[in-house]
């Protein structure tokens, strides 16, 4: 018996390179070729490997790099977010290629909301421009920089229509007008994904937050939304559908409840509307920790039940929690989650990876080995000219008091305030480059003259 087990292990190890070699090649990026490829791959995967593809984790104190290495080796991770340095991304993809059995590539994602290294105006500013070309510039440059950093997906655009200024995330969306939000969200998807998310300088988008996240009662984050079907589909749904019709490969599901049901557990929303009526073929991703929230919502009795409810309702990937990896094996074994349901969720994730071109080249967005554009001449890689042009388009003069404009022919104008001469300490997504790491920060007080603005 021991001898037979040893032989079995040896045969399994010997087959690993062959299994991996079959995955990679010049695969046609067509739905037909993809479906055949993924169907064949699913037959080779264990239950644990399928569950691993549904896990989206963030690198940090809860998941240090050493722990992630073991997860990758055991096939327990499908994607990584919040990692934005190319050497780190390459190291993790190397671990997949060198340590895991099937070597199914990871994809890497990040919140690229209004620029990656180059900071553009926030979405409300873009909406103020009423200029779709400006939006496309932001999308094109953001995708270029994100892909150049090694990313494959962005959690953008946010197309939640918001009409309550008390809502703290209004700045991430395009405002209160349904038509304007629809057009701008669609333009962002088209410009970020380009001809194909598999292209060297394109990234896949994730339309969010589905659905009606900007209509939370009282403007309170995570609150409930109650509205008629007419208002929902006329005022709030069009931007999501337009983004998906433009080809967005992912949907991030909202944290709020909609007419009494949390979106994360709403099979009507995620299956009847999204899949059956709209024909969406991509992945659905829970928002940060949303599956845990189902217990607080009262629609799940415990963590295991929350996983059952979420997967059966249509959540493919679980963001930033261990619930899927911890509880799905037992749920599948007991039959509370069927193999068909697990395969369906895994298929969506593998489809997206195929569309990203990762089975053609897992390193397609990583460039030369051991290089990182943030550390190599980063300042010259910023798209400052484009950022200035878009910023000019976004400015709106509400009232020209004291004839401030046009500016007089004074050569120098100086900006100041409490942050003068200090490194910016605000939200990294608002005033810094990628990942909250400053790019071209304000110099100290002895160098202020460099920051005087010259007007001609």
Q: Annotated catalytic residue: which of 111, 149, 160, 287?
A: 287
Q: Which is it for strands 261-262 and 412-413: parallel, antiparallel or unpaired?
A: unpaired
Using alpha carbons, list the distances in angstroms from residue 189 to 83, 154, 214, 335, 436. 22, 10, 19, 39, 24
Start-to-end CA distance of the chain, whole Å, equals: 86
Using alpha carbons, list the distances in angstroms from residue 389 to 118, 134, 202, 268, 380. 13, 8, 22, 43, 17
Nearest to 275 by CA among 210, 340, 212: 210
Burial of 77: CB neighbours in 10 Å, binned 0-12, 13-18, 19+: buried
Name the token pair of 248.
Answer: 């967005």
DSSP secondary-structure letter at 158?
B
Q: Are 221 and 160 contacting, i.e. CB atoms less than 8 angstroms apart?
A: no
287 a catalytic residue: yes
Rounded CA separation 411/174 (Å):
35
Report residue 16 CA to chain centroid gap: 31
Calculate Rg over the CA atoms of the chain.
23
> Quick one: CA dihedral 133, 139, 145, 148, positive or negative?
negative
Q: Where in 87-203 does DSSP place strands (E)?
A: 107-110, 153-154
Q: Are 155 and 252 contacting, i.e. CB atoms less than 8 angstroms apart?
A: yes
Q: Which is it for strands 153-154 and 204-210: parallel, antiparallel or unpaired?
A: parallel
Name the token pair of 431.
Answer: 């005033």
Q: Are 275 and 319 contacting, i.e. CB atoms less than 8 angstroms apart?
A: no
Active site residues: 287
């Amino acid at each position: 018996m021991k001898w037979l087990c040893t032989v079995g292990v040896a045969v399994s190890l010997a087959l690993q390179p062959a299994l991996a070699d079959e995955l990679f090649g010049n695969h046609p990026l067509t739905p037909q070729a993809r479906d055949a490829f993924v169907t064949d791959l699913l037959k080779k995967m264990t239950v644990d490997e399928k569950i691993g593809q549904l896990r989206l984790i963030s690198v940090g104190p809860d998941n240090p790099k050493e722990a992630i290495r073991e997860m990758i080796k055991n096939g327990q991770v499908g994607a990584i977010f919040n990692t934005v340095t190319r050497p780190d991304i390459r190291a993790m993809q190397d671990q997949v290629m060198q340590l895991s059995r099937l070597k199914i590539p990871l994809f890497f994602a990040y919140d690229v909301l209004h620029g990656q290294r180059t900071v553009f105006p926030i979405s409300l500013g873009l909406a103020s421009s009423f200029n779709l070309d400006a939006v496309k510039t932001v999308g094109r440059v953001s995708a270029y920089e994100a892909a150049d950093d090694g990313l494959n997906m962005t959690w953008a655009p946010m197309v939640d229509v918001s009409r309550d200024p008390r809502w703290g995330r209004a700045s991430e969306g395009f405002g209160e007008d349904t038509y304007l939000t629809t057009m701008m969200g669609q333009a962002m998807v088209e410009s970020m994904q380009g001809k194909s998310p598999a292209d060297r300088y394109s990234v896949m988008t994730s339309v969010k937050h589905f659905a009606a996240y900007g209509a939370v009662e009282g403007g309170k984050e995570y609150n409930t939304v109650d509205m008629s079907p007419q208002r929902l589909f006329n005022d709030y749904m069009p931007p999501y559908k337009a983004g998906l019709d433009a080809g967005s490969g992912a949907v991030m599901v909202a944290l709020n409840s909609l007419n009494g049901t949390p979106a994360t557990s709403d099979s009507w929303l995620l299956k009847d509307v999204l899949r059956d009526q709209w024909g969406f073929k991509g992945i659905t991703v829970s928002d940060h920790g949303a599956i845990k929230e189902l217990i607080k919502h009262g629609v799940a009795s415990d963590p295991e039940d929350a996983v059952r409810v979420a997967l059966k309702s249509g959540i493919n990937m679980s963001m930033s929690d261990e619930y899927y990896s911890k509880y799905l094996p037992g749920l599948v074994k007991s039959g509370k989650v069927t193999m068909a349901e697990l395969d369906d969720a895994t298929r969506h994730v593998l489809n997206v990876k195929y569309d990203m071109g990762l089975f053609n080249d897992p390193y397609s967005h990583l460039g030369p080995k051991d290089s990182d554009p943030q550390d190599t001449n980063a300042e010259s890689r910023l798209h400052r000219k484009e950022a200035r042009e878009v910023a000019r388009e976004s400015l709106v003069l509400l009232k020209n008091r004291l004839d401030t404009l046009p500016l007089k022919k004074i050569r120098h104008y100086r900006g100041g305030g409490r942050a003068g001469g200090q490194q910016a300490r605000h939200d990294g997504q608002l005033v810094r480059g990628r990942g909250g790491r400053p790019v071209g920060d304000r110099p100290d007080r002895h160098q202020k003259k460099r920051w005087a603005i010259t007007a001609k």
